[in-house]
Amino acid sequence: MSAALVSRAHLTRRQLAVLVLLTLTWGLNWPVMKFAVSGTPALPMPYPPLTFRALSMLLGLPVLALVLVRLDVPLAVPRGEWRELLRLTAFNMVVWHVVIVVAVQQLSSGRSAILGYTMPIFVVLWGRLRWGERLSWRALLGVACAGLGVALLLANEFGRMRGAPLAAAAVVAAAAVWAWGTHELRRTRSALPLLTLAFWMTALTTAVITLLALLLERDAWRWPTAPGWAAIVFNAVAVFGFAQPAWFYLARSLPPVASSISVMMIPVLGTYSGAWFLGEALHWQDHAAVFAMVAAIALVLLR
């Protein structure tokens, strides 16, 4: 992006760099998750999804801890902060990560991403209904473009979704919860440093998912294969070591609508990378949706 365009955007150079890396990481992770928990010729036995997520987060926590130590960020949480921390964790991480890793078994990686990134639409709805936010015509038009992109990408998927309606509905519900959490994160009165928040939110979510894996998947536990370990390590380092705290940074430093719309290229990348790596079929709707997503980003982020 040219310097002139950057100067006209709401994003600073640092935010733009974080956004680009976040988009690449989360976008590529959709086919990685699908590969790990659904099975392919390279990984004929799919790995239990909750166990996959638990292992990824358990390995990601030391990465986050090293970052905090390196930057001299405190790990301690005052007693009065725990209630707010638990609330933010539930809305921003627990529901989303549990639902997505289970639902991606039933849906294509690209379409799972598209359903999940209906989140900006819910951000607008929550902002209006709960906090009485007034949006400019550009923001409303940007959300409409994002909705059009979602509709285009789902237009030829209704036949598949009839086979997994609960999975599709669960992903949309998780997106609505995540949207609420985005507002809460933006408005939190917590005095904790951002990286401290990210570490403990990840740690609490890890505990919940590990318990669920123990209760629901213990009989299916086994040692991961080499490709399985590669997917786990990618999630540990790239997703939980970098992408999750990077998202918290954007969510706290940008208005909720701007931060949510800014990541709308992630499902597009997820769709194309899923087609490239997993052989998922693309249709004209996929290509048309790219223009709708770019329009949404430009309308919301550019002055």
The predicted-structure confidence for 199-256, as pLDDT tens digits, reads as follows 999 999 999 999 999 999 999 999 988 888 999 999 999 999 999 999 999 998 888 8
Q: Which domain holds residue 112?
A: 3-301
**Chain mean position to CA 45:** 25
Structure tokens at 12: 């600073």
When divided into structural domains, the chain yields a total of 1
pLDDT > 90? residue 4: no
**Amino acid 229: pLDDT:** 93
Give Cβ neighbours of residue 159 (< 8 Å, ≥ 6 apart). Answer: none
State the Rg of the chain over Cα: 19
SS3 57: helix
Q: Tens digit of pLDDT for each residue in 236-249?
A: 999 999 999 999 99
Question: What is the reported pTM?
Answer: 0.85
pLDDT at 8 over 60: no
**Burial readout 207-244 (b: 16 or more C-beta within 10 A, e: otherwise):** ebbbebbeeebeeeeeebeeebebbbebbbbbbbbbbb
Closest by alpha carbon to 266, among 125, 156, 150? 150
Residue 185 · residue 88 · CB < 8 Å: yes
